[in-house]
Amino acid sequence: MMVDIRIVRLARLIVEYSTEVKAKDEVLITSPIIAKDLAREIYKYCLMAGAYPSIQFYDEIVEEIYYKYAKENQLKHIPPHIETVMEKANVLIRILATSNARRLNRIDPEKIKTHNAARAPLMKKLMEREARGELRWVVLPYPTPSMAQEAGLSTVDFEDFVFRACHVDKEDPVSIWKKIHEQQEKYIKFLSKVDEIHIVGPETDLTLSVKGRKWINADGKKNMPDGEVFTSPIEDSADGTIKFTFPVLYRGFEMKGVKLKFKDGIVVEASAVEGEAFLRKLIETDEGAKRLGEFAFGTNYEINVFTKEILFDEKMGGTIHLAIGRGFPETGGKNFSAIHVDMIKDMREGKVYADGELIYDRGKFII
């Protein structure tokens, strides 16, 4: 059976560029059944690289059944084989795809909170392994009709959008991602010298400190598609208010018109036009959920529609995003939480100042 050439290119890009799979690497590919064509291609290229790949396919309906019927002790239980894999794997490749984006809409948010909190130590272990250079990982998409529907696009248009955003519509996507790396490195060189960021826009006036923090060049190594520069702000520095333009989505739940007020780094007021109860529940997950773990600029201008899938939306050119919850140790971030919830603001009507100097105006860097 013939597979779309763009899927083949995407698989090769992930194995050879994003994760740089080598001989004898233990590689775990996790994929929903609907994305089997892409999973098989990735598996093939891992074998060609001399690695030891395995695929863990999962059924989305099983996930729904789990949250519907699992009791508290079951929600907190981590199967031993999952812990073992997370301790031994050198490369984790996760395919993001869904046949029903709303499958968890009727699930009690408390159950999801319990499940997330139980997995926090495992997440911490993964981050520590990554920091030691023992683990490489990437998340990538496989376009489906459900995802197209959420984005308000036809199936074919959404496929074109996804593959264009990953640059696998071109013959040599690796060279394109290398050029993106070089361009973003210029932004990082400048931002690395900045102490204070000031964000101004509709219903927004927020300052935060990034002094001494490392900025990361997101160039297709951990996410595909990619295109952002990000850091973790100083944990007690955020002061002011920010109103997010786009709906905030987390595990199938949608929150619209989210507005947060910070004082000394902590969320002191949280409101939403829709989904406010769930937003408050998220912020109560743990102490770290009340603070920022990320501030970032989206730089991928091929992503020009809001898709309701954060893998794309946080990279959208002309936007910034902040995340409450878990920070990034590699940036110097010290905030730990079981959650990391990205929230996006369109900056085409906004400005960003760095130490008092205008550096970003109407969705574009001017440095």
pLDDT, tens only, 181-195:
999 999 999 999 999
Please name the amino acid found at residue 201: G
- Per-residue confidence (pLDDT) for residue 151, from 0 to 100: 92
pLDDT at residue 217 above 80? yes
Residues 36, 113, single domain; the answer is: yes
Please count the structural domains in the chain: 2
The contacts found for 48-52 with CB under 8 angstroms, 24 or more apart, are 49/15, 49/16, 49/21, 49/22, 49/23, 49/25, 50/22, 50/23, 50/24, 51/21, 51/22, 51/23, 51/24, 51/25, 51/26, 51/27, 51/91, 52/24, 52/25, 52/26, 52/27
Q: Of the ranges 6-15, 53-62, 120-129, which one carries the lowest mean pLDDT score?
A: 120-129
- Per-residue confidence (pLDDT) for residue 306, from 0 to 100: 93
Q: Which residues span the domain enclosing 307?
A: 176-365
Residues 167, 185, single domain; the answer is: no
Residues 187, 239, single domain; the answer is: yes
In the chain, the largest separation of any two C-alpha atoms, in whole Å, equals: 58
Residues 32, 134, single domain; the answer is: yes
Residues 164, 182, single domain; the answer is: no
- Per-residue confidence (pLDDT) for residue 100, from 0 to 100: 84
Mean pLDDT, residues 55-67 taken together? 90
Domain boundary among 171, 199, 218: 171
Peptide bond into 225 cis (omega under 30): yes
Residues 163, 261, single domain; the answer is: no
- Choose among 250, 252, 249, 248: nearest CA to 104: 252
Tell me the backbone φ, ψ of residue 61, rounded to 5 degrees: -70, -35
Residues 135, 223, single domain; the answer is: no
- Per-residue confidence (pLDDT) for residue 6, from 0 to 100: 97
pLDDT tens sequence across 161-171:
999 999 999 99
Residues 118, 254, single domain; the answer is: no
- Choose among 322, 313, 318: nearest CA to 340: 322
Q: Of the ranges 101-105, 140-144, 244-248, 292-296, which one carries the lowest mean pLDDT score?
A: 101-105
Is the Cβ–Cβ distance between 97 and 31 less than 8 Å?
yes
Mean pLDDT, residues 7-35 taken together? 96
Residues 78, 198, single domain; the answer is: no
Rounded to the nearest integer, the mean pLDDT of the chain is: 93
- Per-residue confidence (pLDDT) for residue 227, from 0 to 100: 96
pTM of the model: 0.84
- Per-residue confidence (pLDDT) for residue 110, from 0 to 100: 83
* Residue appearing with tokens 């002011």: 240
Residues 133, 228, single domain; the answer is: no
Domain boundary among 141, 171, 201: 171
pLDDT at residue 12 above 90? yes
CA distance 364 to 48: 41
Is the Cβ–Cβ distance between 238 and 206 less than 8 Å?
yes
In the structure, how many helices (H) and strands (E) does the chain have?
A: 12, 19
Residues 183, 227, single domain; the answer is: yes
Provide the token pair at 31: 């994929």
β-sheet bridge partners, residue 11: none
Q: Which helix (DSSP H) or strand (DSSP E) does residue 75 occupy?
A: helix 72-76
pLDDT tens sequence across 286-336:
999 999 999 999 999 999 999 988 899 999 999 999 999 999 988 999 999
- Per-residue confidence (pLDDT) for residue 104, from 0 to 100: 79
Q: Which helix (DSSP H) or strand (DSSP E) does residue 343 occupy?
A: strand 340-346
Provide the token pair at 188: 């990082």
pLDDT at residue 252 above 80? no
pLDDT tens sequence across 122-151:
888 888 888 788 899 999 999 999 999 999
Strands 216-218 and 136-141: unpaired
Domain boundary among 134, 151, 171: 171
137: domain CATH number is 3.40.1830.10
CA distance 291 to 259: 14
Residues 60, 187, single domain; the answer is: no
Mean pLDDT, residues 337-350 taken together? 93
- Choose among 95, 18, 22, 96: nearest CA to 53: 22
pLDDT at residue 49 above 80? yes
CA distance 292 to 277: 20
